[in-house]
Amino acid sequence: MATDKTLFYLCSFLIGVGVVFSLSLPVFTVLFYNYSPYHFFIRQFAVGMVGIFIMWGLSNLNPDKYLKGIGFFIFFACILTMSLMHYLPESLVTESGGARRWIRLPGFSIAPVEFFKIGFVYFLAWSFARKLDEEQKSLKDEIKLILPYIGVFILVIYLIAILQNDLGQVIVLALTLAVMAFFAGTSFKFFSLAILGSVLVFTTAVVSSEHRILRIKTWWATIQNMVLSFFPESIASTLRVEDAPEPYQISHSLNAIKHGGLFGEGLGSGIFKLGFLSEVHTDFVLAGITEEIGALGVVCITLIIFVIIYRIFRISGRSQNRVYYLFSLGIGLLIVFSFLMNAYGITSITPIKGIAVPFLSYGGSSLLALCVGIGMVLMVSKKARNP
């Protein structure tokens, strides 16, 4: 089978859309910090071109020769880097809110966690292909097989959720691990147990952190009137939060989406990006895009993302090599969970977790890492069997 050119073109198109909105959306940040009007555009354009070149270059490689080396290099290099980041001087590591997430290099910064997700998916694919199969096992035997992965994931929680204070990325990786393990051959009973365990870990992480509790309260304050209207007043009064801070970010996000209407205000004509909605070019990029090109425009973008996911899953389903099958599945899951968590967050369905929108959010690390993952999937697509 030839390389999936449609997947390459669709990803390149979305990168182009992200570049266009990197010129339109950060206008307030440009004015506030006195940047050049093209500050964000030039950077995102350069990263986008490099990302497209990476996808093209990787797609030309033979996966039988190069996929394993690339996957393991990313995995171990990122573990080593994230382990050392906490001890590096501030001149090399950018600190924000007490968390060290970016390594500062000449002219740009890089977030190793974004690349680690790609390496982690490859490690799981390689290991699951060797350890798990479709043969029926008892729950006890399944737990024994998965225990080493739980140990690895505890290390992931320490490096990302604790040292970098980034619970959102851990949630994405936990969901990806659970689903990949299910498709690798674990039972539905074990899958349910894994999801339950993930919920317990998430709950523990939230209740042990004041700022996470505050974020949950802020989210609940946004939706409580609507949800509690279905409950008797005796129950509603118990569940209602009275002292939660005003959820201005979510409120402005919802107002921006509403203001865009069906057809949008026009490219560059959004209002809520003018200081009302911070991080509009990163975490809230979908809200900013919706205001400018409307619900129909965002539906078109969402359909393109779903087609990308479908083509990745199709490559996975047609791969006879189990490593290729599981790796492509994992990359598709990363895109699914990242997109849904961001979309649900900006619409107040779930708490906002600061997860970048695939291809669209401003940021070099997330875009380059995704391009590496897509490039590796394109590499695998050449080995997928024809329908």
Residue 65: predicted pLDDT: 94
Residue 95: predicted pLDDT: 67
Residue 222: predicted pLDDT: 72
Residues in the chain with pLDDT values less than 50 = none
Nearest to 186 by CA among 127, 120, 135: 135
Distance in angstroms (rounded) separating the CA atoms of residues 387 and 323: 20
Distance in angstroms (rounded) separating the CA atoms of residues 348 and 250: 7
Whether 291 contacts 271, CB under 8 Å: yes
Residue 108: predicted pLDDT: 76
Residue 199: predicted pLDDT: 79
Residue 64: predicted pLDDT: 93
Residue 210: predicted pLDDT: 72
Model pTM above 0.85 = yes
Residue 78: predicted pLDDT: 93
